[in-house]
C-alpha cells in the first residue's frame, strides 16, 4: 500500500496525549520478539495458528494470544476457513517501519564497531614494553 492511499497523517509532534498513548500501544505490540517472528512469517504467506506455532516453537495457545494482540492493533487479519483460522498481514506498511528500525540499528552497530576499532591496537604494531 503506498503512502498516497492512506489518509493524511498528522505529525507525531502535533498529536494530543490520547493519540500518543495509541502510538505507544502500537509500538508495544511490536516490542516482543515472538510477535516480530510472527510478522516475518506472515510476510512470506498467510498461515494458520498451528503452522505459526510449529515454526515459532511455541504452543498454539501462546501464538493465539500474540495474534489477538496483533489483530487488535490492526497489524494482522483473521479469516475463518472451515475449522481453521488463517492469519495474514492487514497492514503491510508495518514492514517499512520494521525495516527502517532494523536499518537504524545496523547503522548504530556499525558506528559503535568503528568507535571500538579506534581503540584496538593492530597486531602488527604492538606497543613496546618499557
Taking only the tens place, the pLDDT of each residue in 66-102 is: 999 999 999 999 999 999 899 999 999 999 999 999 9
SS3 69: helix
Within-domain flag for 87: yes
Burial 22-54 (b: 16+ CB within 10 A, else e): eeeeeeebbeeeebbbbbebbeeeebebebbbe
Within-domain flag for 60: yes
Task: Report the CATH number that the domain containing residue 19 is assigned in CATH.
Answer: 1.10.10.10
Cα separation, 86 vs 77, in Å, equals 8
Q: Residue 119 pLDDT more than 70? A: yes
Mean pLDDT value across residues 2-10: 53
How many distinct structural domains can be found in the chain?
A: 1
Please, which pLDDT band fits residue 130 given cuts at 50, 70 and 90? low
Within-domain flag for 85: yes
Within-domain flag for 50: yes
* Angle subtended at Cα 89 by Cα 46 and Cα 81, rounded to the nearest 5 degrees: 45
Cα separation, 59 vs 65, in Å, equals 10
Q: Residue 127 pLDDT more than 80? A: no
Within-domain flag for 27: yes
Residue-range definition of the domain harbouring residue 41 = 13-91
Within-domain flag for 126: no
What is this structure's pTM?
Answer: 0.78
pLDDT at 42: 98
Within-domain flag for 20: yes
Within-domain flag for 106: no
Amino acid at each position: 500500500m503506498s503512502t498516497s492511499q492512506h489518509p493524511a497523517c498528522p505529525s507525531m509532534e502535533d498529536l494530543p496525549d490520547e493519540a500518543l498513548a495509541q502510538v505507544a500501544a502500537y509500538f508495544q505490540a511490536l516490542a516482543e520478539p515472538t510477535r516480530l517472528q510472527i510478522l516475518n512469517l506472515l510476510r512470506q504467506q498467510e498461515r494458520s495458528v498451528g503452522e505459526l506455532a510449529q515454526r515459532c516453537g511455541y504452543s498454539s495457545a501462546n501464538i493465539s494470544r500474540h495474534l489477538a494482540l496483533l489483530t487488535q492493533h490492526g497489524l494482522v487479519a483473521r479469516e475463518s476457513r472451515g475449522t481453521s483460522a488463517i492469519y495474514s498481514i492487514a497492514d503491510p506498511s508495518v514492514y517499512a517501519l520494521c525495516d527502517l528500525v532494523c536499518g537504524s540499528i545496523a547503522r548504530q552497530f556499525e558506528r559503535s564497531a568503528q568507535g571500538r576499532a579506534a581503540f584496538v591496537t593492530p597486531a602488527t604494531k604492538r606497543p613496546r614494553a618499557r
